[in-house]
Amino acid sequence: MQTEVMKMLGLEAPIFAFSHCRDVVAAVSRAGGMGVLGTTHITAEQLEIELDWLDAHTDDKSYGVDLMFASNARDEYEGMTIDDVDKFIPQEHREFVDALMKKFDVPELPPGEREKIFDEYMTGMIRTHRTAEGRSEVLYKHPKVKVMASALGVPPQRVTDKCHEHGIKVIGMVGRPKHVRRHREAGMDIIVSAGHEAGGHVGEIAGFVLTPQVVEEAGSIPVLHAGGIARGKQIAAALALGAQGVWTGTIWLGTSEAETTPLVKEKIFAATSADTLRSKCGTGHPARRLRSAWVEAWEAEDAPKALPMPLQSILVNEALERMDRYQPRELVSYPAGQGVGMMHQQTDVRSVFLELLTELGETMENMSNICGALNEE
């Protein structure tokens, strides 16, 4: 089997894997898919280190990088420091977060750690186009980068043009059919149709309904289906909908290579597909996460309204860092899609990849047999 996307990028399988963990990215690329590194939380300097590592651990394979050129990025934050932007956060919201931390007895960070977060990690939360463009400059130094994905919006035209100059294909993500036109006009090479059931930032339309419409709107631009992919038969379904491949994320969170903690994996394996919730509590933009007391508190009627990007991220990231470090069972959550209902135990990236391909092949063969039987009738 060879889809257009596979031919375009020289892939052996129509599987794209988004992950913040470089080990997952490398393993998927080595297996014949396209690993794509999430980078929205790191600086350009840190990204250089990550890409150097990936260059050394992907054999002769290529990989991709996901940046965030958010469509709602606000120009007034350009040039501001994290302390400048921090002043826009209402006291009511700070008190709400502090109350949750106290209610669940989450310890404070050690002396000096909070300052380190604000000086290094939190600066990356000011998600302006200039910040993302600074990270994109790193990509051009690494010839093995063959894909740049733009989450939540279309990158500036100069970024797309420069990617093309360096042989990098640009991927845009959409949650509604009407978004396709802008991506098409901007010169996107591939479009991801992100269904409501997907993890992370998602829209309101289910993938089975969304993808055929996106395919129609995209015309000659190949489309990847995203949302709930945890079985090979779902890849076959995506191809039947007109997609040229799949964009996956949640399925890799349960692997031994993933960055997820033992508690997060435990929650993933115990979760049903109903145990995720679409919430603005993390970034200010709707994103699907595992249910927890943290997520549900933000959805309560008496909760303050989530702040717009990037203020919500700046508000909550110290709390998220404390939760990540101390792992309070009731509060801990993680971006994840409804595919968690099909994940039950830890495995490794290569095993997941082979299982997906094996079931895809079996499903395609079964469908061929069904079609043959129908023709005989």
Question: How does DSSP assign 97-143, residue by residue?
Answer: HHHHHHHTTPPPPPTTHHHHIIIIIGGGGS--HHHHHHHHHHHTT-T
pLDDT for the residue 254: 97
The dihedral region occupied by 278, where left means phi > 0, alpha psi between -120 and 50, and beta the remainder, is: beta
Poorest-pLDDT segment among 5-14, 274-283, 314-323 = 314-323
Cβ neighbours, 10 Å, residue 268: 24
The residue-averaged pLDDT of 7-12 equals 97
Alpha-carbon torsion, ordered 6, 8, 10, 14, to 10 deg: -20
Please say whether the beta carbons of 163 and 69 come within 8 A.
no
User: What pLDDT is attached to residue 310?
Assistant: 80
Query: Is the pLDDT confidence value at 275 over 70?
Result: yes
Model confidence at 278: pLDDT above 90? yes
* Averaged pLDDT, 50-76: 86
Range in 82-91, 160-169, 222-231, 260-269 the model is least confident about: 82-91
Give the residue, 37 or 69, on which the prediction is more confident.
37
The whole-number pLDDT of residue 75 equals 57
Question: Above 90 in pLDDT, residue 243?
Answer: yes
- Judged against a pLDDT cut of 90, whether residue 369 lies above it is answered with no
Beta strand pairing status for 34-38 and 276-279?
Answer: unpaired
The answer to whether 32 and 260 have CB atoms below 8 angstroms apart is: no
* Mean pLDDT, residues 225-230: 97
- What is the rounded average pLDDT of the residues 294-308? 95
Q: What is the DSSP letter of 275?
A: S
State mean pLDDT over 21-44.
93
Average pLDDT over residues 92-115: 91
Q: Tell me: pLDDT of 123 over 80.
A: no
Task: Look up the CATH architecture of domain 4-77+126-260+348-369.
Answer: Alpha-Beta Barrel (3.20)
Whether a cis peptide bond, with omega within 30° of 0, leads into 155 is no
- Does residue 308 surpass a pLDDT of 90? no
CA separation (Å) from 232 to 241, 255, 264, 301, 304? 14, 17, 24, 40, 41
In 3D space, the residue among 15, 5, 2 whose CA is nearest the CA of residue 220 turns out to be 5
Instruction: Tell me what pLDDT residue 250 has.
Output: 98
Indicate if the pLDDT at residue 124 is higher than 60.
Answer: no
pLDDT-derived band of residue 146, with 50, 70 and 90 as boundaries?
A: very high
Report the sign of the C-alpha dihedral through residues 123, 124, 127, 133, in that order.
positive
Return mean pLDDT, the chain. Answer: 91
Over the stretch 85-99, which tens digit does the pLDDT of each residue have?
778 899 999 999 999
- For residue 149, give the DSSP letter: E
Tokens of 156: 């500036």
The pLDDT value recorded for residue 237 is 97
Q: What is the pLDDT of residue 263?
A: 97
* pLDDT for the residue 132: 76
Predicted local distance difference test score (pLDDT) of residue 44: 86
Whole-number percent of the chain with pLDDT over 70: 92
Residue 35, pLDDT > 90, answer: yes
| Confidence band for 127, pLDDT divided at 50, 70 and 90 | low
pTM, 2 dp:
0.93
Q: Which of 205, 187, 207, 287 is nearest to 247 (CA)?
A: 207
Higher pLDDT pick, 338 / 284: 338
pLDDT for 373 beyond 70: yes
- What's the rounded Cα separation, in Å, for the pair 14 and 364? 14
Question: What is the tens place of the pLDDT at every residue in 158-203?
Answer: 999 999 999 999 999 999 999 999 999 999 999 999 999 999 989 8
Determine contact, residues 211/238, Cβ cutoff 8 Å: yes
26: tokens are 């490398």
Look at residue 57 and tell me whether its pLDDT is greater than 90: yes
